[in-house]
Amino acid sequence: MVVAGAGIIGCAIAYELSRRGVSCLLLDSRRAGMAATNAAAGILAPLAEFRRPDALVHLGLASLRLYPEWVERLREQAPEVDVEFARNGVLRVAFDGEEMAELRAGLRYQAELGMELIELDGATVREVEPRLSPRIVGGVLCPEEGQVSNQMFTIALSRAARKRGVRIIESCPALGFRARDGRVVAVRTPQGEFACDRLVLAAGPWTRPLARKLGVDVPTRPMRGQMLAMGGMVTPIHAVVWGARGYLVPRANGLVFAGATVEDVGFRLRTTKAGLAQVRRAACELVPQLRHASEHFSWVGLRPGSPDGLPIMGPLPGWENVTVATGHFRNGILLAPITGQLIAQAILDGRPGEALAPFDPGRFTLSNTS
C-alpha cells in the first residue's frame, strides 16, 4: 500500500490504516506536512461559511466530533507533542444588517445540526470579546467549534503512524506508475520503484498532474491563501473571530493569525503586497487595535480547491486499486479525521461507504483508460 502525499490528509489516512493493522508507505516530494497543511490557520469550523446544512457541513460536523477522541489517542501515542486543541468557540460577526441577516439565517438549523448557536447583539459581542470593533452590530457564537495547531497535529499523526509501522519517505516524489490489467502495481520515484497492491493519491493540488499520468482528470486546483502573524500586544481575543472579509485566530504562543486571501493564481507560491494589505485591512476592521500590532511573519499556501467546493474522495475511475483523497479546499484540517476514517474503511471494505457518495471522483470525469 502506497500513499502519495504526506500532508494532513495523507498522514490521517496512513494513521487510520495503521490502526486497522495495515502498514503503508507514505511518500512526499518535499517534507511531510509542509505544504498547505503547514500554512493553515487551524480553525475547526464546519459552519464557517455556512448557508444551509449540505453534505460538506455534515462531513465537517462529523469530523469536528472525532477531534476529541483523536487528540486523546494522539496524546497517548505521541505524548511529547501538544496539538493545542481548543474548543474556544467561533464567533461570526456582522458589520451591517445584511451581514447579520445572513448569519441569522443559519440559526434555524440548530436542531438539525445538533449544534448550539447563540445570537448576540453588538453590545454582547463586545462583552464576550472586548477588543472587537464598536462598528460590529451583532454576531453568532458557536461554542462547539474551535482550533488546533495544524502543524503539531500533523507531526503527532505522522509520529503515531510511524510507531505503528508506517514508513515515511520524504523528498521522494511519485513520478509515475507501472500498471497491469487496470491496476497500479508500482510507483516510480527518483529512489526507484515501490511495488504496491493499493495506491492512494493525496497530493493536494498536485493530485491532478499525478492522476493525469493514469489518464484521469481529477479537477483539483490550487487556491492561494496569504496570512499574517500579528503580535506584540496582549492577546486581544479568546475565540476565533470570523467576519465577511477575514478572520482572526488566537494562537497558544500569544500571536494572532490573520487570514486569508483566496486567489485563483495557479501554483504561484508567494505573498504579495496587495494580498497582505487585504489581510491586514480585514484584521484591523475586526480589532482596530491591531493597527498598532507588530507583524511577525507572513506566509502563503495552496489549498486544494474543487469545481463544486466539495472534497474529491473515493475510487479513481477506471482503476481497480487507486483511491483519491483531495479537494478539501478551506477545510482540510477540520476534515482530516473523517477523511482518514472513511478512506481507510473504504480501502479495507473494497468499496466506498455511503458517506463518501457525495464526494465521488467520478462525478467530474470518465476515465480515458479501460
Ligand X SMILES: Cc1cc2nc3c(=O)[nH]c(=O)nc-3n(C[C@H](O)[C@H](O)[C@H](O)COP(=O)(O)OP(=O)(O)OC[C@H]3O[C@@H](n4cnc5c(N)ncnc54)[C@H](O)[C@@H]3O)c2cc1C
Q: Which residues bind ligand X (CB under 6 A)?
A: 4-10, 27-30, 34-37, 39-43, 173-174, 202-204, 206, 210, 225, 227, 259-260, 301, 303-304, 326, 328-334
Residue with Cβ nearer ligand X (103 or 343): 343
Indicate the residue among 246 and 301 with the shorter CB distance to ligand X: 301
Q: How far is the CB of 202 from ligand X (least distance, A)?
A: 6
Alpha helices in 53-136 (DSSP H): 55-77, 97-105, 110-113, 122-128
* Shortest distance in whole angstroms from residue 304 CB to ligand X: 5
Pairing of strands 90-94, 240-242: parallel
The residue among 81 and 260 lying less far from ligand X, judged by its C-beta, is: 260
**Please, what is the minimum distance in Å from the beta carbon of residue 127 to ligand X?**
26
The CB-of-100 to ligand X minimum distance in angstroms stands at: 23
CA distance linking residue 339 with residue 70, whole number of Å: 13
Contacts (Cβ under 8 Å, ≥6 apart) of 280: 228, 258, 290, 295
Tell the smallest beta-carbon distance from residue 124 to ligand X (Å).
25
Q: How far apart are CA 230 and CA 227, in angstroms?
A: 10
Give the Cα separation of 200 and 174 in Å (integer). 11
Cα distance from N-terminal residue to C-terminal residue, the chain: 22
Round to whole Å and give the CA distance between 173 and 169.
9
Q: Can you tell me the distance from the alpha carbon of 27 to that of 328, in angstroms, rounded to the nearest whole number?
A: 19
Beta carbon nearer to ligand X, 47 or 100:
47
Of the two residues 132 and 343, which places its CB atom closer to ligand X in the complex? 343
Identity of the residue, 198 or 328, whose beta carbon is nearer to ligand X in the bound complex = 328
In angstroms, give the least distance from the CB of 354 to ligand X. 23
